Amino acid sequence: MSKTLIKAVHKTFKKQIGGQPFLVFSPGRINLIGEHTDYNDGFVFPAAINKGIALAIGKSESDKSKVYALDKNELYEFGLDSITPLKDGGWRNYILGVISEIQKLGLDVGNFNGVFSGNIPAGSGMSSSAALENSFVFAFNELFELGLSKSEMILISKKAEHNYAGVKCGIMDQYASMFGIKKSALLLDCRTLESQLFKIDFKDYKLMLINTNVKHDLSESAYNDRRSVCEDVSKKLNVKALRDASKNSLDGLRDEITEEDYQKALYVIEENERVQLFSEAILKDDINSLGKLLYQSHEGLSTKYKVSCAELDFLVDSAKENSTVLGARMMGGGFGGCTINLVLKSDFKRFKNDISAKFEKEFGKACSVYKVKLSNGTHIVK
Ligand code: GLA
C-alpha cells in the first residue's frame, strides 16, 4: 500500500467534500508467467504489488454523484439513473461500468463522492484499470451494504472492462488485485477460479520491471482479435477452451487453419504448460529453470502469439547479454508496457544503468526501472 497516496486522497476529500471518508487501497499486479492464458481457461501466476489506486469515498445526499481524479485534476459529475459508456471516457468508463454491472444484478448503488489517485504508470501493463475497478466495487459493497463476495466483485470488475472499456479481458488482473497476499504469488486456475499460494523468495535474485514507456495503438483491438482466434480454434477442436487442447490435437487441425492461427494456439498450449513447470521449479528452488521459462515465454509471445514490439524485444535481447539476468519477458497484454526480469541482487544497479543507457541510445527516449513488493489485495485502510 502507498501511505502517500492514501494521505493525498484523504486530505483532498476532507478539503473539497468534507467529513470522514471511507478509504480503500487497491493494488495493480505483476504476472510471473502465464500470459494470454487466462481467457483460455488456463493457468496464470500473478501477484498484487505495492503500487495501485487509493480511493476516499463517502455517501452523498445530493441527487448526483461526483468523482475527482486527483492526478488528472478532472472532476466528473453524473446521475445514477442513466448510465451508459462514454465515448473517449477514459477513467470514467471503468467507474460507470462497475456501477452499471452492479445495477444489472438488481442492486442499488446510492449517490456518492469519491476522490482517487494512483501510482501505476498508465499503459505499463501493471493493470491500473483492474485496480480502479476493484477499488470502486469494493467501496460500493461496503458503503451500500451490497453483500457481494470478493469473487462476485471481480466478475463485476471484469464485465465493466468488457462492456465499458471494450477490452474482452480474462480474470487474471481483477483476481490478483483483489486476492493478492503479501510476499506471495497466486497460481490461479482461471477455469475454477481456485488459486494456490506460493511464498516468493528468489534468494540471491530479485524482480526488476523495465517500462518501455510506450503503448502502441491498436493494442486493444489486437487483444480482442487474439481472443477470438483462440475461441475459433477451440471450436474447431471441439473443446471448451484451449486449456483443453493438446499439441497433438492441434496438429490434427494444421491443414484446416492458417499458419498464423496455428502458431497462436500452439503458443497458448505451450505457455499453459510453462506455468505448471514454473510452479514446480519454485517448489524445487530451481531458479535457473525459472529464468529459462521466462525467456521461452517471451519467445512465444513475440514470434508465435505476436503481441510484442521492438522496444520489448530489445529489452529482452539486451537482458540475455547479461549472465546476471536469469530470464526476462514482456508482461501483460503486450504492444508496450513492461518487461519482468529476474536479476542478481548484487548486479541490480549495474544492470539497471546499463540497460537504461542502451535503451535510450537505441530509441532516443528513456525507459523506467521499478522494484516491486508483492502485497495484499484490495482492502480497507483504517
Ligand atoms: C491483460 C488482460 C488480462 C490478461 C493479460 C495477458 O492484462 O487484462 O486478462 O489476458 O492481458 O495475459
pLDDT digits (tens, 9 = 90+) for 281-299: 999 999 999 999 999 999 9
Q: Is the pLDDT of residue 262 over 80?
A: yes
Q: What is the pLDDT of residues 243-260, one digit of tens each?
A: 999 999 999 999 999 999
Instruction: Determine the residue of 127, 133, 155, 172 to mutate for testing ligand 1's pocket, defined as the one with the most ligand atoms within 8 A of the Cβ atom.
Output: 172
- Asked if residue 327 has its Cβ within 6 Å of ligand 1, the reply is no
Q: How far apart are CA 210 and CA 121, in angstroms?
A: 12
Q: How far is the CA of 320 from the centre of ligand 1 (A)?
A: 25
Q: Quote the pTM value.
A: 0.97
What average pLDDT does range 123-143 have in this prediction?
96
| 317 Ramachandran zone, left/alpha/beta (phi>0; psi -120 to 50) | alpha
- Name the strand (E) or helix (H) holding 52: strand 46-59
Residue nearest to atom 2 of ligand 1 (CA): 169
pLDDT category of residue 279 using cuts at 50, 70 and 90: very high
Q: Is the pLDDT of residue 192 over 90?
A: yes
pLDDT category of residue 220 using cuts at 50, 70 and 90: confident
Q: How far apart are CA 202 and CA 196, in angstroms?
A: 18
Which segment of 18-22, 314-318, 320-324 scores lowest on mean pLDDT?
A: 18-22
Residue nearest to atom 1 of ligand 1 (CA): 333
The pLDDT, as a whole number, for residue 189 is 98
Atom of ligand 1 nearest to the CA of 125: 7
The pLDDT, as a whole number, for residue 218 is 65
- Asked if residue 28 has its Cβ within 6 Å of ligand 1, the reply is no
How much is the mean pLDDT over the chain? 97
Q: What is the pLDDT of residues 70-117, one digit of tens each?
A: 999 999 999 999 899 999 999 999 999 999 999 999 999 999 999 999
Sheet holding 379-381, edge to edge: 74-78, 65-69, 112-118, 46-59, 22-31, 379-381
What's the start-to-end Cα distance of the chain, in Å? 12
What domains lie within the chain, and their CATH numbers? 3-199+376-380 (3.30.230.10), 205-371 (3.30.70.890)
What average pLDDT does range 47-60 have in this prediction?
98
pLDDT > 70 in the chain, percent: 99
Q: Extract the C-alpha cell encoding 283.
A: 517448489
The pLDDT, as a whole number, for residue 216 is 77
Are 234 and 41 in contact, with CB atoms under 8 Å apart? no
Positions annotated as catalytic residues are 173
- Asked if residue 35 has its Cβ within 6 Å of ligand 1, the reply is yes
Atom of ligand 1 nearest to the CA of 129: 8
Q: Extract the C-alpha cell encoding 39.
A: 481467457
Atom of ligand 1 nearest to the CA of 38: 10
Q: How far is the CA of 170 from the centre of ligand 1 (A)?
A: 6
The pLDDT, as a whole number, for residue 215 is 86
What average pLDDT does range 22-48 have in this prediction?
98
